[in-house]
Amino acid sequence: MAIQRAASNDLDKRPNNTMKTIDKALFLLGFFSLDTPEYRLSDLARAANVDKATAMRILGSLSIGGLIEQHPETKKYRLGTAVLHLARLREASFPVVSVIQPILDALTLEVGESTHACLFAGSAMTTIAIAEPQRPTRVYINPAEALPLHATASGLAYLAHVPEAMQKNLIKRIDFKTHAKGTVRNKAELMDKLEETRLNGLAVSWRSFEDEVTGIAAPIFDWHGKVQATLSATCISNRLTDKALLGTKVAVLKASQKATQAMGGASPVQTHVATREQR
């Protein structure tokens, strides 16, 4: 016993303080996405690689809780109305969106480009707030599109500041799909980018997700200095002069700091060098 504990158990990750059944339920929940907003039982079971019967019982419980609901004719499952309630509750008691929105508005006004804020969800970034400038030409941000970690400034900004263990885990699962000319192609390139992002305090993705777009993103931290969200400006690349770029960077950085502060949080402190010294 003592030997096991000392020797081999470091490698086994044994978070004994969770419940596997609940983990599995949340795992299934994670399969609902924009591309696949509803599932038949068998399809979901197959996708998640769990037994049909198990999946059904899990979904049964989630249904009772209202987190998902089932169309009685097609038998398909989808997210339920309870999530609307929960989100409303969360936003009423600890506003995030409504705190960030005015910051985005101000930023957009200042830099004259579309801006948005993202949360990390599952394996990609999802937009939670958007502001658009009045200019006739501007980048349209699809509010529901999932933004891949490796191909967007938001993703890089997030990934660069995430705890090391989780970072490794996430990177392992990146598909490195090429979205545009400037998309990062492999892990080595990505690591360089992340290092650069950490040094600069913000990520610049030049034509990496869409060809005409340059994204400039900075992390938003919570009380603990953990990345909680990102804030970014998406600019039309060919009107971004060096001077404009610099100005935008500064503005984005300032806005992200304001957001960090507004979210109730401690300041990022020195993220530049020592991101690891947290314990």
Partner DNA sequence: AAACAGCGTTGATAATAATGAAACAAAAGT
Partner DNA sequence: ACTTTTGTTTCATTATTATCAACGCTGTTT
Could you give the string, one character per residue 14-33, with x where binding to a copy of itself holds by CB under 8 A and - elsewhere? Answer: -x-xxx-xxx-xx--xx-xx
Using CB distances below 5 to 8 A depending on partner kind, what does residue 91 bind out of DNA, a copy of itself, none?
a copy of itself
CB nearer a copy of itself, residue 65 or residue 102: 65
Span near a copy of itself by CB under 8 A; candidates 42-50, 60-68, 99-107, 169-177: 60-68
The dihedrals phi and psi of 231, each to the nearest 5 degrees, come to: -135, 130
Could you give the string, one character per residue 36-75, with x where binding to DNA holds by CB under 7 A and - elsewhere? Answer: ----xxxx------xxxxx-xxx----------------x
SS3 33: coil
CB nearer DNA, residue 11 or residue 273: 11
Using CB distances below 5 to 8 A depending on partner kind, what does residue 51 bind out of DNA, a copy of itself, none?
DNA
Q: Would you count residue 166 as binding a copy of itself (CB under 8 A)?
A: no
Q: Which of 58, 190, 217, 252 touches a copy of itself by CB under 8 A?
A: 58
For the segment 72-101, give every residue that binds DNA (CB under 7 A).
75
Closest CA to 227 of 198, 185, 188: 198
Using CB distances below 5 to 8 A depending on partner kind, what does residue 75 bind out of a copy of itself, DNA, none?
DNA
CB nearer DNA, residue 53 or residue 121: 53
Give the Cα separation of 1 and 157 in Å (integer). Answer: 43
Using CB distances below 5 to 8 A depending on partner kind, what does residue 105 bind out of a copy of itself, DNA, none?
none
Whether 268 and 225 have beta carbons less than 8 Å apart is answered as: yes
Instruction: Tell me which residue has tokens 């501007």.
Output: 138
Determine the Cα angle at 147 with ends 143 and 148, to 5°.
170
Write down the least CB distance from residue 265 to a copy of itself, Å: 10
Structure-token pair, residue 161: 């500041």
Looking at residue 227, what DSSP letter applies? E
Closest CA to 138 of 157, 156, 111, 119: 111
Whether 223 and 237 have beta carbons less than 8 Å apart is answered as: no
Give the Cα separation of 276 and 162 in Å (integer). Answer: 10
Looking at residue 267, what DSSP letter applies? P
Residues of the shown chain interacting with DNA in the complex, contacts defined by CB under 7 A:
16-17, 19-22, 24, 40-43, 50-54, 56-58, 75
